Amino acid sequence: MAGFTALPRSLADRRADGQDGPAAHGPTTPAEAAGGAVPPPGGGQPPASPGRFVRVPDGPAAAAGSTPSPSATGTAAPTAVEPAPRAIRREPGFWERHHLAVLTAVTLLTTLAGWVAERLQAPAAVSLFFYGIAYLAGGTPAAIAGLQALRQRVIDVDLLMVLAALGAAALGAWEEGAALLFLFSLSNALQAYAMDRTRQAIRALMDLAPETARRRRPDGGLEEVAVETLAVGDRIVVRPGERIPIDGRVVGGRSSVDQAAITGESVPVAKGPGDEVFAGTMNQLGALEIEVTKPAGDTMLARIVALVQAAQEDRSRTQRVIDRIEQVYATAVVGIAALAATLPLLWGAEPQQAIYRALVLMVVASPCAVAISAPAPVLAAVANAARRGVLLKGGRYVEELAAVKVVAFDKTGTLTLGRPRVTDVVPLGDADRREVLEAAALAERLSEHPLARAVLEAAAAEGIRPHDADEVRAEPGYGVAARAGGRVTWAGNGDFARRHGADPGAAQAVVDELARQGKTVLFVGVGSRLLGCIAVQDVPRPGAREAVAALRRLGLIPVMLTGDRPEVATVIARQVGITEVRAGLLPEAKLRAVEELSRTLGPVAMVGDGVNDAPALARARVGIAMGAAGTDVALETADVVLVSDEIEKLPFVFDLARRATRTIWQNLAFALGVIAALVTWTLAGRLELALGVLGHEGSTVLAMLNGLRMLAVRPAPFGDGGPRGAEGRARAPEPAAGRTGT
């Protein structure tokens, strides 16, 4: 006998055809299930010649998917641990965090003290002393900001407020000038604290990752080191109840890991050898030994922090327009105030009264509320989405999402799990379901072909453990056979069945029906006896149908763009509730389809896995990538990333974007209305400076608080089975094998 030839390995990880459907481990199409040549299921190894078996070596090496024993996880008592100096993360001090609040309090107290001194008829110097302190406390931050802007040849709101306060002092209205600075400082302090809430997601994420890790030494002991010193290939040990300090791959032990902070998944995920883990997630039940796969600066957590920071600094389209207009508008306000102070003098008005009205006009016409109208809802929406495992790569995409009319979905790995599963087991003759699965599992036991894994998973779910085989033969494109106990057990396509003397025509009616359902069929037999058929198909993601229905309720048009066969695409589309399907599309054809949909129906959001869909993602109005935790290109290509692959978060994202955009326009209408009313009242000579300041700053705070409501938006429950939003979703258990899909 010839030496053992390994079966094709990890075909799912080596797909290079750019198509959605899995390469067949038997027939390529259901129509070929009764026989027909198909492409080989994997590359690299020459197929064994027909009729010749390859001996399987005895011992543990024959077991597929063997993993290190738990004893290798480092749970044994380690040798002396030498603590390393902990990395020091600078925390902002009290003054840095609260200086605006302190200065506002000082401004209020000294303004009240000056007012009391005046009422008690104290010497003028006493009240001026208190008012002077109020001016310094309330006006210094605004003066510094205004002068910095002036150096850039920009007149901003801070400078307008300082000029108004100084003008009031020049007219002897120290009390009103101090009140102006107090209300302006209070508004700024409230804005700072409120906007800081939108950045708490970043600080919470930064605090998730531990600063040290237990690294395995060459002698097997452990040493505590700073996470920044870990290199790719190092091995670390994470005990139960500890956070995982760095991205890596499990090489020993099994546990469940709470990934909610990174991926938004509501239930812990089982982890074992070969599974990826991410920095900042919580190890729960068992000890894990992890091989480092990325340096500390390139972990999933670090990239999420960088993305959220960049998104909060990126401005929406409306905000950029407001910023440009604000600079011109603020300059115009100064000019109009100057005219308002000089023109009445030509008509014989009193200079003091004219200047006072001009100061009031400058205050009430300032665009503070207008300037805050867009940033507050946009930043709040970005922070809310990040907290729920949805990354928006810029504030601009909030408005872009709100403008979308069509949502185009890739199929495999997006609407489906991207992994075939057994859907039907059809016994023939006197065979039963268990006998068919036992035979198929025996034949497929050593294969890592996607269809083989599907068969083995189905067998394991029913408590079937395949026996060891003495010899196996794999024929790429046809099937696989195993000799055990003097019998040959096989699984493959129709031609493979005929080679073993079986007649696949006996199952033709079954095959035709399964083919109409877009399923791939394997024949299973022992010797010349045909035991039955097994149908395998990629299945929709949990929540995909509900997500599509929710998108329809939002008025969006769902479309499927896939490279898979039309009959398969049609079946999946029917299952998830999509009526418009375009199948057999290569990446370039998907791009053209996105362009056509944009011309005919409106702005398109493309949802894909970020790899083969990259051209379409880039061309769409908004590109939405599934599975950032599994592919780096998703973070680089897409505009929005669903970190945990939870497609049911899509309706929440679109709803949040629409609410934020509506809030922007609400704020703008409110702010401009208040300005118009206050200016009219001022020109009529009926508005005092104190009331003008109160109306101006009050409208600013209200616009800001209205925008911050986006932090409280939650996913709406949907589906027939009760709430299935981003919170509390019942996730179906998934195998640990890697994801495939286009």
Q: Could you tell me if 455 and 444 are in contact, meaning their C-beta atoms sit under 8 angstroms apart? A: yes
Q: What residues contact 627, with CB distance under 8 A and at least 6 apart? A: 413, 609, 610, 634, 642, 645, 739
Residue type, 653: V
**Residue 482 phi/psi, 5° resolution?**
-135, 140
In 3D space, the residue among 29, 697, 637 whose CA is nearest the CA of residue 371 turns out to be 697
Residue type, 632: D
Residue type, 348: G
Known catalytic residue: 410? yes
Query: What is the distance of C-alpha 230 from the center of its chain?
Result: 27
Alpha-carbon span 599 to 674, nearest angstrom: 40
Element (H, E) at 269: strand 269-271
Sheet holding 54-55, edge to edge: 54-55, 471-475, 479-484, 487-492, 520-526, 529-540, 416-427
Alpha-carbon span 412 to 419, nearest angstrom: 8
Six token digits for residue 438:
């036992």
Alpha-carbon span 644 to 416, nearest angstrom: 14
- Long-range Cβ pairs for the range 715-719 (8 Å, 24+): 715/388, 715/648, 715/649, 715/651, 715/652, 716/550, 716/651, 716/652, 716/655, 718/546, 718/547, 718/549, 718/550, 718/648, 718/651, 719/543, 719/546
Q: Which of 410, 564, 613, 655 is catalytic?
A: 410
| Burial group, residue 119, by CB count within 10 angstroms (0-12, 13-18, 19+) | exposed
C-beta atoms surrounding 406 within 10 Å: 21
Alpha-carbon span 375 to 385, nearest angstrom: 15
Alpha-carbon span 26 to 13, nearest angstrom: 18
* Cross-strand bridge partners of residue 416: 540
Tokens 């600013």: give the residue.
700
Residue type, 478: Y
**Active-site annotation, residues:** 410
